[in-house]
Structure 1
């Protein structure tokens, strides 16, 4: 199998927001989707199960875990690489909302989304305290861009 390595990324056209490039591709993509229900209080079926009415589908969420960023060889701060991810939860410019991204990898556009949650650990430091390795977890949530 031969071919050129293609990196996963989050692209955006929102002013004031930067694209998010992953230094190393994710090892897995974890999607989640659920349906909201309206449960009737006290109403039961003949078998005793609560009666439900299907309300609406929840947006798709995508979790990316253990994303590694490393600048040990260059000796520069890894914070420069993860700063766009950290800022992805900030409200962009005058939009009054966080930026909207498209998560794509190769030819597949998986999700139009916003970054709902970010957590990161700094796991390696130079002798002077410069952080040179980070592990990032993030969750993305689907948006309907026609409603923005």
Structure 2
């Protein structure tokens, strides 16, 4: 029904074993770090040496989330145990070799609406239980996760998982009354460009968009001179 607020899109972690771990509350912040190694070659007579690229370093993603089950009385450990599995060896994963004691934890991706991170392993997990029932049952916890890129991927740290577009994109959360032509006018200064936004988000019916939806705002295509 038009004008009725919709629930926000929930963030989640997805593992390589196809398990989905929904986050009870969305993170307020995400920190993404990506670095590269450069070597300085000796350059006599100059103020600074010429740097030569050596290698890219794995990207990292850090987030803090709150887990709270005070409304149901369910132990919050039901949810924290799922996070602990992400730093525990899984012998069912590919490349496991029991004869050589070779195994590893699963890689995961962080997903939130149309956003998806690179494949990453949880390098560090910190759990702090902050509220307990009278019988000692933990009902609230804070989890800090530090994730490191698992493999080389020619993508941005956060991307549209359907298009894998390598160019930088803007993300916009729809407010009440916003339409695609208004978004185009705001971001492109041209309301007729709304189809670019529709195609980037696989929108079939522009009139059926709901407030709270995350929309990818792609860059305008570059016009090449003939």
Q: Taking structure 1 as the reference length, what is the TM-score of the superposition?
A: 0.81
Match of 1:112 in 2: 119
- Tell me, yes or no, if structure 1 residue 80 matches structure 2 residue 78: yes
By relative contact order (CA 8 Å, sep 6+), the higher-ranking structure is: 1
Spell out, residue by residue over 1:61-86, the C-alpha distance to the aligned partner (whole angstroms, 9 max, x if none): 11002x11111122221111111111
Q: What is the SS of the residue equivalent to 1:123? A: strand
Selected match of 1:100 from 84, 101, 107? 107
Count residues with an aligned counterpart.
141
Match of 1:131 in 2: 138
**Partner Cα separation in structure 2 for residue 84 and residue 45 of structure 1:** 57
Q: What is the SS of the residue equivalent to 2:119? A: strand
Gaps of 5+ in 2: 94-102, 154-226
TM-align CA RMSD: 2.3
Match of 2:54 in 1: 55
**Partner Cα separation in structure 2 for residue 145 and residue 46 of structure 1:** 38
Selected match of 1:11 from 3, 10, 14? 14
| Structure whose CA Rg is larger | 2
**Partner Cα separation in structure 1 for residue 44 and residue 132 of structure 2:** 61
How has the CA–CA distance of structure 1 residues 127 and 56 changed in structure 2, closer, same or farther, with 3 Å as cutoff? same
How has the CA–CA distance of structure 1 residues 45 and 131 changed in structure 2, closer, same or farther, with 3 Å as cutoff? farther
Match of 1:69 in 2: 67
Gaps of 5+ in 1: none
**Partner Cα separation in structure 1 for residue 71 and residue 22 of structure 2:** 19
Shift of 1:92: 1.4
Match of 2:96 in 1: none
More strand by share: 1
More helix by share: 2
Q: Taking structure 2 as the reference length, what is the TM-score of the superposition?
A: 0.55
Spell out, residue by residue over 1:80-100, the C-alpha distance to the aligned partner (whole angstroms, 9 max, x if none): 111111110112124312101
Q: What is the SS of the residue equivalent to 1:88? A: helix
